[in-house]
Amino acid sequence: MRQPAGRSPRRSGGERKPREERWAELIEVATQIFYEKGYDGASLQDIADRLGMLKGSLYYYIQSKEDLLFDVISTVHKDGLAVVRARSEIEGDPLQRLENVIRGHVEHTCRHLVPTAVFLHELSSLPIDRREEILGSEHAYQGVFRDLVHEGQAAGQVRPDLDPRLAALSILGSTNWVYRWFRPGGEFSPEQIGGEMAEMAIRGIATDEALRSRAS
């Protein structure tokens, strides 16, 4: 059963937090509320109550509930994208870098289950143009995986019969699903899951020669 975060006590005027700190807290609380109740079931009053502030005060930061969902999902996407981009830049051949990216994506997902769930469940609640604004015209997150598959084909490490976009979607589809069954403190650690899922993905797309090279 989902457990709500604790409600913040109301603060007097002299105890107001800096705007940046309050904004970060707003995003965190809104993410939790959207997770607990879903976007349609959540209200700005729910979020204001959890923050210990008046509903009207939220409009200092946002214009609507849709704007808040947009900011929440943008934050989740930006944080995850930073992780996979950083992993893709670690020195190595395309398959090594793809392995790093898959590991990073899975580990990040396991450690941020609530934001991941909100992103995957509620992205479709936004209008198409706002979804595209987050994802980018080239789907930047997917693009990190797709580009590495393409580089692997150019290096002779990835099977040439595969479509890079379909391969990227397949990898993301399987790894994204981790959020549905991973349990913190359970039998498998984020690192173990990331390592095994990366190994399975690489074995599914690599050429025989590349697999032999990795084994040696």
Q: How confident is the model at residue 17 (pLDDT cuts 50, 70, 90)?
A: low
Mean pLDDT, range 2-14, rounded to an integer: 37
Mean pLDDT, range 131-151, rounded to an integer: 92
CATH class belonging to 66-215: mainly alpha
> What distance in Å separates the CA atoms of residue 99 and residue 201, rounded to the nearest whole number?
8
Give the burial class of 109: count Cβ atoms within 10 A of its Cβ; 0-12 exposed, 13-18 middle, 19 or more buried.
buried
Mean pLDDT, range 202-207, rounded to an integer: 96
Per-residue model confidence as pLDDT tens digits over 23-34: 999 999 999 999
Pick from 57, 84, 191, 214: which is nearest to 145 by CA? 84
pLDDT at site 21: 86
Give the burial class of 124: count Cβ atoms within 10 A of its Cβ; 0-12 exposed, 13-18 middle, 19 or more buried.
exposed
pLDDT at site 182: 95
pTM of the model: 0.85
Per-residue model confidence as pLDDT tens digits over 64-102: 999 999 999 999 999 999 999 999 999 999 999 999 999
Question: Which pair of tokens denotes residue 22?
Answer: 């309050």
Percent of the chain with pLDDT over 90: 84
Q: Average pLDDT of the chain? A: 90
Distances from the Cα of 132 to the Cα of 10, 124, 126, angstroms: 37, 11, 10
pLDDT at site 16: 53
Mean pLDDT, range 191-198, rounded to an integer: 97
Question: Which pair of tokens denotes residue 183?
Answer: 């349990």
Q: Please provide the size of the chain in residues.
A: 216
Where in the chain do CATH 1.10.10.60 domains reside? Answer: 13-62
> What distance in Å separates the CA atoms of residue 155 and residue 139, rounded to the nearest whole number?
24
Half-sphere exposure of 79 (CA within 13 A, CB side): 15
Where in the chain do CATH 1.10.357.10 domains reside? Answer: 66-215
Fold of 13-62: Arc Repressor Mutant, subunit A (1.10.10)
Residue 142 in this model has a pLDDT that exceeds 50 = yes
pLDDT at site 15: 44
Q: Is the dihedral of CA 89, 76, 142, 169 positive or negative?
A: positive
The C-alpha angle 110, 62, 46, rounded to 5 degrees, equals 65
Per-residue model confidence as pLDDT tens digits over 116-138: 999 999 999 999 999 999 998 77
